């Protein structure tokens, strides 16, 4: 049975709350995953216009939830939602009223504070939560990324939050960890001997992890300029995916063991330095181009700048993990805005067979690939070679064994709802430990510092293409190529 809880969304009227959290909570409510009797408080500096029902209706018109918005459901849901006007810098009458609103006789009822606000407000908000006694045992704090913008600021945030909330009350969210397919990756790796036996440099040639987006950064000017793809995507989502692919089997599928194993991966990432960075890390920024037949502006125009900017909207890099399992296996990571397609995919490319026993088989003999598609749909596919019956000669063709894991859509929670409900239950397995955040920054900071010191601008790519030439060169000079599929067809540059 779903558990009754209190949830406070700090930044309740903001982008994350409107686009992700509220639609997810509404569909969770309709599906019976968010228990009736739970309370959702949206804090906002200026209050929100109109009744919560009217306001929510508007929010769901902008971003429709996964299920239809029916009148009665909307009414019932909006009765759970209250809007609270609250400053996050100093206490006062508004904080007293807020504390009173949160009062309950049930001291076991979970209270989740979701900080969907800029990290510069994390410290003062946690301090106020402490001052008003809202950090008791029933309270948890969820920290949305970005957690700082380098190691030093992340350490400061972790230390500040740590003064008011214990580590077991602190939930650092990376919504990629809440994606169904990501969890399936754990199930697949650690409950099938087949994969585990093949999962190492003995049989794997290399691994590619791509998060491609076709959106630009319009409307996120304040956040994106000066942040860039390395901080926005690589430091968190891409490195977390790399950890899940590369980690050793945890002793148990529970928070401490999983996070310990992920941390070992981050500690084993070979640091990139100096010329190694120039050679193995590509950064670029999109220029004006065309998407789906329509002209789109450049990054600089999207963020309305009058001067050029060095902020990267694309990163491709080659990383190595220095341990027994992965020695010599490159991990190619890639992410970018304004690419031709939106998808997230992990490709495990196996080595080729050491010898082809038939002379005609040598040609077109592709290595096996295991493809884990995280979005837009969950999909697992194994690409293998079989005899080509259509051909008169003894040729081979590549076929794809599709593993349909999506299941019944109505049972799926979506990443944010899953993670909020995990926080309600106090389960930290899919949240990031402070040390993981810090080790990830340590690795990424070296690269960013090198870029800053060089003063060189990023490369350019036209919006609607697969990034700059250098990203392809990163692969082709290793005699490899980026792989991805659209509707079963191989898509190139």
| Residue ranges binding ligand BG6 (CB under 6 A) | 145, 175, 213, 232, 344
Identity of the residue, 55 or 343, whose beta carbon is nearer to ligand BG6 in the bound complex: 343
Give least dist CB 414 to ligand BG6, A. Answer: 10
Give least dist CB 104 to ligand BG6, A. Answer: 32
Under 8 Å CB-to-CB from 167, ≥6 apart: which residues? 433, 434
Contact 211, 236 (CB under 8 A): no
**Nearest residue by C-beta to ligand BG6?**
232
Q: Is 437 helix (H, G, I), strand (E, B) or coil?
A: helix
Identity of the residue, 330 or 458, whose beta carbon is nearer to ligand BG6 in the bound complex: 458
Under 8 Å CB-to-CB from 31, ≥6 apart: which residues? 67, 410
Rounded Cα distance, 166 and 162, in Å: 6
Q: Give the number of other Cβ atoms within 10 Å of residue 472's Cβ.
A: 17
Active site residue 433: no
Give least dist CB 316 to ligand BG6, A. Answer: 16
Give least dist CB 34 to ligand BG6, A. Answer: 21
Identity of the residue, 38 or 298, whose beta carbon is nearer to ligand BG6 in the bound complex: 298
Identity of the residue, 134 or 296, whose beta carbon is nearer to ligand BG6 in the bound complex: 296
Identity of the residue, 127 or 213, whose beta carbon is nearer to ligand BG6 in the bound complex: 213
Give least dist CB 366 to ligand BG6, A. Answer: 28
Question: Of 175, 206, 237, 450, which one is the catalytic site residue?
Answer: 237
For the residues of 303-315, what is the DSSP string, one character each?
Answer: TT-SS-----SEE
Within 131-272, strands assigned E span 139-143, 170-172, 204-212
Closest CA to 147 of 227, 258, 215: 227
Identity of the residue, 218 or 323, whose beta carbon is nearer to ligand BG6 in the bound complex: 218
Rounded Cα distance, 451 and 230, in Å: 11
Rounded Cα distance, 104 and 283, in Å: 51
Rounded Cα distance, 62 and 51, in Å: 17
Under 8 Å CB-to-CB from 77, ≥6 apart: which residues? 25, 26, 29, 30, 56
Cis peptide before 23 (omega within 30 of 0): no
Rounded Cα distance, 145 and 128, in Å: 20
Give least dist CB 213 to ligand BG6, A. Answer: 5
Residues classed as catalytic: 237
């Amino acid at each position: 049975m779903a558990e009754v809880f209190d949830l406070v969304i700090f930044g309740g009227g903001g982008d994350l709350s409107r686009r992700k959290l509220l639609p997810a909570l509404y569909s969770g409510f309709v599906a019976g995953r968010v228990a009736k009797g739970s309370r959702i408080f949206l804090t906002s500096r200026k209050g929100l216009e109109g009744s919560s029902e009217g306001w929510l209706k508007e929010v769901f018109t902008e971003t429709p939830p996964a299920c239809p918005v029916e009148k009665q459901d909307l009414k019932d849901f909006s009765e759970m939602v209250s809007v609270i006007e609250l400053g996050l810098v100093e206490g006062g009458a508004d904080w007293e009223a807020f504390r009173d609103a949160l009062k309950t006789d049930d001291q076991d009822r979970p209270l989740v504070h979701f900080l969907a606000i800029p990290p510069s407000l994390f410290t003062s908000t946690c301090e106020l939560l402490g001052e008003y006694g809202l950090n008791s045992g029933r309270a948890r704090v969820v920290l949305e990324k970005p957690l700082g913008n380098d190691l030093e600021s992340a350490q400061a945030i972790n230390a500040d939050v740590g003064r008011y909330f214990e580590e077991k009350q602190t939930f650092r969210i990376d919504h990629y960890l809440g994606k169904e397919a990501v969890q399936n990756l754990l199930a697949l790796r650690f409950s099938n001997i087949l994969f585990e036996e093949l999962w190492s440099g003995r049989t794997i040639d290399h691994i590619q992890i791509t998060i491609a987006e076709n959106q630009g950064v319009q409307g996120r000017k304040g956040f994106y300029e000066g942040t860039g793809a390395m901080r926005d995507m690589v430091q968190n989502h891409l490195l977390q995916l790399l950890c899940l692919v590369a980690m050793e089997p945890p002793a148990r599928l529970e928070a401490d063991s999983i996070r310990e194993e992920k941390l070992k991966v981050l500690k084993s990432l070979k640091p990139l330095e100096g010329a190694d960075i120039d050679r193995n890390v590509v950064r670029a920024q999109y220029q004006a181009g065309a998407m789906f037949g329509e002209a789109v502006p450049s990054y600089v125009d999207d963020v309305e700048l009058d001067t050029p900017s060095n902020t990267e909207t694309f990163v491709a890099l080659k990383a190595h993990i220095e341990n027994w399992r992965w020695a010599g296996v490159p991990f190619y990571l890639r992410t970018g805005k304004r690419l031709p397609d939106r998808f997230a995919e992990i490709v495990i490319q196996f080595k080729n067979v050491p010898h082809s026993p038939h002379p005609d088989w040598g040609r077109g003999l592709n290595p096996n690939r295991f493809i884990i598609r995280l979005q837009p749909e969950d999909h697992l596919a194994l690409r293998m070679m079989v005899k080509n019956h259509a051909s008169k000669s003894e040729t081979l063709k590549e076929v794809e064994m599709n593993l349909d894991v999506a299941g019944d859509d109505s049972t799926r929670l979506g990443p944010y709802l899953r993670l909020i409900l995990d926080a309600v239950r106090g389960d930290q397995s899919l949240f990031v430990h402070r040390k993981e955040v810090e080790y990830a920054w340590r690795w990424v900071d070296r690269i960013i510092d090198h870029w800053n010191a060089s003063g060189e601008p990023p490369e350019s790519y036209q919006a609607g293409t697969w990034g700059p030439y250098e990203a392809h060169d990163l692969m082709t000079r290793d005699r490899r190529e980026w792989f991805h599929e659209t509707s079963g067809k191989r898509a190139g540059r």
